[in-house]
Amino acid sequence: MGCESSQPMVVSNAAKNEVDEQLERLQEEERTHYKILLLGPGEAGKSTVLKQLKCIYKGGIPLAEQRMHGLAIRRNTIQSMQAILEATVVLGIPLEGEAAAAAGRVLMLDEGTDLSPEIVQDVVLLWHNGGVRAAYGERHRYWLLDAAAYYFDNVERFGSESFAPNEEDMLMARARTSGINVTQIADGLHKFSVVDVGGQRSERRKWIHCFDDVKAIIFVVALSGYNQVLFEDTGVNRMHEGLQLFEEVVRNPIFENTPIFVFLNKKDLFEQMMTEGIPLTRCFPDYRPGAGCDASDVHQAVAEIERRFLDVIHRHSPRKNIHVHVIASRVRLEMKSAFSDVKDRIKEYYSQGQHANGSLQRQVSNRL
């Protein structure tokens, strides 16, 4: 009887050991698996960030996605020219002769139309027209894709039968993010799941479904947004929208102790706009550059934008961990450097248990 009574105990101990081992494995996985939420307003460059991560850590963009980006950039070209032509009407910029006829044909194209040799000819003609160029110069007054000039300069290549998108084309292609997209990145024993949700207002209601177990947030905002308007509402400045959205994220109690990495993106476009003489006062009328600098000084302007985001943290969550990177996400080395810092800081933060009482930290890299 003694033997009979001891057998269940042996089984029970074995089962208990197995459960303990499973729990230990799960705990270890939890310690080394980090969920990063990629947030920000529409057209801030979040999709470009993900494309670069795939190129850096996943061996490149999958073939199926390459084809998708190739089709997208051809449609982006038509969409961008249509936006400019519509603006010529609103702005009262006349088009005459061949340009007027070409404009009429392009404006009649249905959404989703692909490039044809005839459309390519019309786009080339229009892009060299003075009226179209004048409307392009007023692009801060209406919605237009950032890479419009790139599309028009390359339209003949895009329209060729042998066209296959190169890496720069794929980074420049724009397709609005819908739904939730997850990119898995392995880094030794550590795993990072980067979760991207569409930034347009209509997509933000889906964000709440991604809030569980978030280890860090990458908030992407375009520096160039100081001189641009929203796709959803052309009466709203993109930078203002980004600041308001950032404040909503910071004030959310769910993220009270969650590290936030702010990517001030598209510094290349920002530099270009500032060089063209478009001052930051267009977005922030109260901006006053430092002594000896004017309103179009690039370094001073970047510092001012950074200060405004840090002020949000100070007002609503003074103990929040925040790290700022000034980048152009289309530049591989800058993106790799920024995300390497994200990985290292997340691993350090959670390995030391700093999430229990985070403190404000400030790290600015990739200075202009």
Does the annotation count 232 as an active-site position?
Answer: no
The structure tokens listed for 110 are 């249905």
Are residue 324 and residue 238 in the same domain, yes or no?
A: yes
Q: What is the pLDDT of residue 357?
A: 41
Both structure tokens of 257: 């102790």
Flag whether 153 is in a domain.
yes
Same domain assignment for residues 148 and 240: no
Clarify whether residues 150 and 190 are in a common domain.
Answer: no
Same domain (yes/no): 278, 166 = no
Pick left, alpha or beta for residue 9 (phi over 0 → left; psi -120 to 50 → alpha; otherwise beta). Answer: alpha
Are residues 213 and 118 both part of a single domain?
no
Residue 17 lies in a domain: no
The token pair that represents 87 in the structure block: 């603006």
Mean pLDDT, residues 38-48:
91
Residue 101 in any domain: the answer is yes
Q: Residues 48, 70: one domain?
A: no
pLDDT, average across residues 254-269? 94
pLDDT in tens, 115-173: 999 999 999 999 999 999 999 999 999 999 999 999 999 999 999 999 999 999 999 99
Residue 361 lies in a domain: yes
**Residue 52 above 50 pLDDT?**
yes
The CATH code of the domain that includes 99 is 1.10.400.10
Higher pLDDT, 39 or 17: 39
Supply the pLDDT for residue 32.
80
Select from 154, 172, 190 the last residue of a domain. 172
Higher pLDDT: 298 or 358? It is: 298
Per annotation, catalytic residue among 75, 174, 238, 345: 174
- Residue 146, classed as helix, strand or coil, is coil
Backbone angles phi, psi at 34, to 5 degrees: -120, 125
- pTM, full prediction: 0.84
pLDDT reported for residue 16:
55
Out of 43, 122, 146, 304, which one is annotated catalytic?
43
263 three-state secondary structure: strand
pLDDT average, residue stretch 32-52 = 91
Active site (annotated) includes residue 174: yes
123, 138, 172: which is the final residue of a domain?
172
Per-residue pLDDT, 360: 40
Q: Which residues contact 253 (CB under 8 A, 6 or more apart)?
A: none
The average confidence (pLDDT) of the chain is 86
Higher pLDDT, 358 or 261: 261
Task: Please indicate, yes or no, if residue 50 is contained in any of the structural domains.
Answer: yes
Catalytic-role residue among 121, 200, 281, 354: 200
Does any domain span residue 15?
A: no
**103 and 165 belong to one structural domain:** yes
Separation between Cα atoms, residue 204 and residue 48, nearest integer Å? 19
Verify that 54 and 183 share a domain, yes or no: yes
Query: Which listed residue (122, 146, 169, 196) is catalytic?
Result: 196
At residue 323, φ and ψ (nearest 5 deg) are -135, 130
**Interval 268-287 mean pLDDT:** 93
> Over 90: is that where the pLDDT of 327 sits?
yes
Q: Are residues 225 and 126 in the same domain?
A: no
- Please report whether residue 358 resides in a domain: yes
Mean pLDDT (whole number) for 301-305: 95
Write the DSSP assignment of 277-324 as a string of letters. T--GGGT-TT--PPTT--TT-HHHHHHHHHHHHHHHHHHH-TT-BEEE
Domain of 330, CATH number, reads: 3.40.50.300
> Is position 88 annotated as part of the catalytic site?
no
187 with 257, same domain: the answer is yes
| 303: containing domain | 33-59+178-365
| DSSP secondary structure string for all residues of 25-80 | HHHHHHHHEEEEEEE-STTSSHHHHHHHHHHHHSSS--HHHHHHHHHHHHHHHHHH
Position 5 in a domain? no
Cβ atoms within 10 Å, residue 301: 26
Of 156, 172, 188, the last residue of a domain is: 172
220 and 354 in a common domain: yes
Per the structure, how many domains does the chain have? 2
Q: Examine the domain organization and report whether 238 and 155 are in the same domain.
A: no
> Which residues pair with residue 37 across a beta bridge?
195, 217
pLDDT at residue 173, rounded to an integer: 95
Question: What pLDDT, in 10s, does the model give residues 211-222?
Answer: 678 999 999 999
Beta-strand runs (E) in 93-246: 180-187, 190-197, 216-222
